[in-house]
Amino acid sequence: MTLSKKPYKGCRDFFPKEMRERNYLFEAMKTTAESFAYEPFDGPMVEEVELYKAKSGEELINEQIYEFTDRGNRHVAIRPEMTPTVARMVAQIAKQASKPIRWYSIPNLMRYEKPQRGRLREHWQFNVDIFGAPENLGEIEVLSVVSQLLESFGATKEMFGIQLNDRKIVDYIFNEIIAVDSEISYRLYKIIDKSKKVDRQALEKMTSEVLTEKSKQDAFYEYLELDSFEKVTNYLKGHNYPRISEFEAFVSKLSNSQASEFVEYDPAIVRGLDYYTGVVFEVFDKHPDNKRAIAGGGAYANLLQIFNEPALPGIGFGMGDVTLKDFLISHDLMPKMDHAINDVFLTYLTGDGEAMAMSMAKQLRMKGLKVETHLGVMKFKKLFKTAEGKGHRNVALIGEDEVKNNTITVKNMVERKQETFDAQDIESITNFLKQG
């Protein structure tokens, strides 16, 4: 049997170029999260399958989870998401930690999906979560984190938006206005979650299977028409929503926040995961090629209770590396990363220069520079072409004269300037290379 060179279906190999791109995305994620004082954390790849069964929802459990029995007969799963893990970890320290707890991570996750644009079996997901934040302010903070990250790449409101809803509103409309029980309500949630992916006919078919009365169907469709903060607020006021002042306070705070220009109310956002209890949102790409959400998240008030801990409200989001990269490429925001970025290509043109080059390379590396040495004598004719091909901005060369005079010649390939330094003057050589 010949072994395949391809990675497992729906997974990627990261060659150095892809790794550079991945690091670029991760660096921006870290910088943004840390600019809001979030701290990094990590957890295990594998968890007890029960952790996901508790609250993640049927689609994830029935269709997407990679589960197996280990050698000790434990039923485990490869993590399909990070929220249950972060909740489990926060549950260990919640009592003594000062609040709010602000954590982020960038784990790889596995879901058994049909690979397609924006969807793979393995992806990396930027997770940002805050626990124990005061009412409304946690929601506004995580919305600010996600919009700031996209803005840091140069994205504007013409390129992305954030669709937001509140499950407390949806629950009220379903339970009190349409007046259905919790089982029907759960099924309506699932219909809404699919509503954007199907046409009107399919939506009506799904709805009529769950709601038999015409008046209830009409009330459901009326809800789906409430596509702005203004419309939903007026509707809720007309139907005596008891939390209306809380919702209005949220909308008012949101309108003063840095995320405000991106956020719109959307009744069709409820999210597929079961643990959300309040605000839910998805970041969407306005480019027609990318129909998948770039990020999704929301508030979950009760997740810590599955560990018999007191409730501690959590709010967060996950952003996938695949959808983020598609977004950046489609809007021409992804820099070209064809070459490694090193500071200098250090070469010698005669065998006599070898020891000097090695010593120089060591000293420059100690100064924090990235130095590639050409292993062996370099032919002058090939020097600049080779350096350019490798993406070097600086070339340092030790030729016959340099050996004789104990000097080194450094050339900045971009600005086309060249200088010869005393080989002992590491300080000046470093400064020249750092400028380049």
One residue of 20, 119, 286, 339 binding ligand HAM per CB under 6 A: 119
Measured from the CB atom, is 273 or 346 closer to ligand HAM?
Answer: 273
Q: For the CB of residue 334, give the shortest distance to ligand HAM in the complex, in Å.
A: 16
Residues 6+ apart with CB under 8 A from 350: 377, 399, 400, 403
Q: For the CB of residue 315, give the shortest distance to ligand HAM in the complex, in Å.
A: 7
Measured from the CB atom, is 207 or 323 closer to ligand HAM?
Answer: 323
Q: Rounded CA gap, 149 and 130, in Å? A: 16
Both structure tokens of 118: 């924006």
One residue of 78, 94, 120, 232 binding ligand HAM per CB under 6 A: 120
Q: Rounded CA gap, 171 and 175, in Å? A: 6
Q: For the CB of residue 179, give the shortest distance to ligand HAM in the complex, in Å.
A: 30
Q: Does 317 bind ligand HAM (CB under 6 A)?
A: yes
Vertex 273: Cα angle to 229 and 156 (nearest 5): 45
Type of residue found at 361: A
Residues 78-107 that bind ligand HAM (CB under 6 A): 81-83
Q: Per-residue contact track with ligand HAM, 45 to 84, x per CB under 6 A?
A: ------------------------------------xxx-
Measuring CA to CA, which residue among 233, 221, 216, 130 is closest to residue 176? 216
Q: For the CB of residue 33, give the shortest distance to ligand HAM in the complex, in Å.
A: 13
- Phi, psi values for residue 31, rounded to 5°: -60, -45
Measuring CA to CA, which residue among 175, 155, 287, 158 is closest to residue 223? 175
Alpha-helical regions (H) of 56-166: 58-59, 83-93, 137-152
One residue of 322, 328, 364, 403 binding ligand HAM per CB under 6 A: 322
Strands of 354-406 (E only): list them. 371-373, 394-398
Q: Which helix (H) or strand (E) holds 47?
A: strand 46-48
One residue of 32, 127, 136, 277 binding ligand HAM per CB under 6 A: 127
One residue of 318, 396, 397, 399 binding ligand HAM per CB under 6 A: 318
Q: Does 316 bind ligand HAM (CB under 6 A)?
A: yes
Q: Does 293 bind ligand HAM (CB under 6 A)?
A: yes
- Shortest-Cβ-distance residue relative to ligand HAM: 320
Any idea what DSSP says for residue 64?
I
Residues 6+ apart with CB under 8 A from 143: 162, 164, 254, 257, 259, 262, 263, 281
Stretch that binds ligand HAM, among 34-42, 171-179, 238-246, 290-298 (CB under 6 A): 290-298
Both structure tokens of 78: 């490869």
Q: Rounded CA gap, 66 and 69, in Å? A: 11
Measured from the CB atom, is 97 or 341 closer to ligand HAM?
Answer: 97
One residue of 32, 85, 136, 323 binding ligand HAM per CB under 6 A: 323
- Answer yes or no: are the C-beta atoms of 29 and 21 closer than 8 Å: no
Stretch that binds ligand HAM, among 115-123, 146-154, 220-228, 232-240 (CB under 6 A): 115-123
One residue of 210, 294, 304, 397 binding ligand HAM per CB under 6 A: 294
Q: Does 203 bind ligand HAM (CB under 6 A)?
A: no
Q: Which residues would be at the binding site for ligand HAM (CB under 6 A)?
A: 81-83, 111, 113, 119-120, 123, 125, 127, 129, 273, 293-298, 316-320, 322-323
